[in-house]
């Protein structure tokens, strides 16, 4: 994982935490999650998570590149 992906990961996790805290009706610790041995159920997971992470990482990378070009 590169620095852009790490930052994207952090952003997604922070946003997910806010969503979960503001919407307690989203019960991620369901019986299905427990039976499936999912240790950390999340609002965004699987392929959708990795696609979003990749997209955000690329946007951050492009932003940083443009900022360097301005200098």
pLDDT at 14: 93
Share of the chain above pLDDT 70, in %: 94
pLDDT at 20: 86
Q: How many CB atoms lie within 10 A of CB 28?
A: 13
* Residue numbers in the chain where pLDDT is lower than 50: none
pLDDT at 54: 97
Whole-angstrom Cα distance, residue 40 to residue 18?
Answer: 16
């Amino acid at each position: 994982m590169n620095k852009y992906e790490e930052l994207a990961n952090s952003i997604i996790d922070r946003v997910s935490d806010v969503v979960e805290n503001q919407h307690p009706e989203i019960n991620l610790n369901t019986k299905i999650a427990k039976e499936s041995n999912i240790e950390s159920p999340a609002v965004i997971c699987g392929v959708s998570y990795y696609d979003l992470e990749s997209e955000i990482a690329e946007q951050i990378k492009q932003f940083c590149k443009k900022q360097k070009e301005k200098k």
